[in-house]
Structure 1
Amino acid sequence: MSIVSIEPATAERWQDLENLFGPTGAYGHCWCTFFRRRAKDHTASTTCDRSMRGVDNKAELRRVTLEGRVPGLLAYDEGGPCGWVSVAPREDYVRLSRSRSLRPADPDEPGVWSLVCFWLPPRRRRRGVGSRLLDGAIEYARAEGARVLEAYPVDTAGGRAPSAEVYTGTVEMFRRAGFGLAQHHTSERTVARLNLKEG
């Protein structure tokens, strides 16, 4: 099946996002809120009460959409939603500003958006859906007025790695999309950046 469209995850599309993530949410109850919340506020999948795993995270993501914000984009094929990318203004991801390994060199730099997560059902992986989502994220951020799109990919040295380890995307994926790659100013992490505006 081929991608039919890539759409903003608005409140009206919440059911599609919920169906895509499934009953436990993406990546072990995360519901793609890891970067949106401070460490002490994030409901980790290691919580003792299994019945509460991810409940607060799901509610947080739902709240974002109900406030009229768009936490990311959904890819659709003929069968419905088939992929997700979390992309938004960098300030929406509060954990980035507190991270030792990803803290921005200039937190007040205007117009920077961040791409922090991809999620695809297992049957859709390694079929180019992630690259299509990246293209959609670039187009969406540009259309929304972003000056720069920033991401934090993992270097797999051209090999494969478990999906849970490369949820931020791979270095090669961003290189192919035209991003510049540099080492983070205080850590060994790679930061990918793409200028979205001329001049």
Structure 2
Amino acid sequence: MADASLDWVKIACFAWLEEGTGADAGELLERLMADENCPAFGPAHHALVGAALLACSWRAVGKGELGDALDELFDRASCVPGAACAKWGVCGAAASCGMAFAILSGNAPLKKEGWGEGQRMVAQILAAIADAGAPRCCKRDSRIAVRVASSWFNDQLHTRLVESEPVRGCAVCKQNSACLGSGCPFFS
């Protein structure tokens, strides 16, 4: 059963599709992260990144109902606790990309096709996040994750996700004692 507290994410994703806004998962992620329901940090981000990727990829490769795919994503994301980055060594935003990839590609535990590609994508995302240089910034890590994942989705799933320029500016930097400030690619 999907987490009802994430209904606002589903509503925003459906609105995005109805508006015909496009295939820019980074732009949709920014909209989701700017929503008043989105906390500055925490496990909501473990669903946001995958939701943005699913919604922006849906017209190209989605099968069935987007709502069902989002519910499945939310169920999977609910298994990744807050602070998984520190406690597990796996950022939930990166895992969210893997979840979305698996849902769209129809991956299953014994299905060979697509399994390795999803693993390599998440590994590349984790490396990019690790290279960012500091813990405790779900917004930064979500932005990195969606940008790295977009090229994988395009190559492996044949989507046409737009890879826009990174957004400059951060609404939560003052709330984050670990903020890199000018060392962050999204800070202005």
- TM-score with structure 2 setting the length: 0.30
| Larger relative contact order, structure 1 or 2 (CA cutoff 8 Å, min sep 6) | 2
More helix by share: 2
Q: Which has the larger radius of gyration?
A: 1
More strand by share: 1
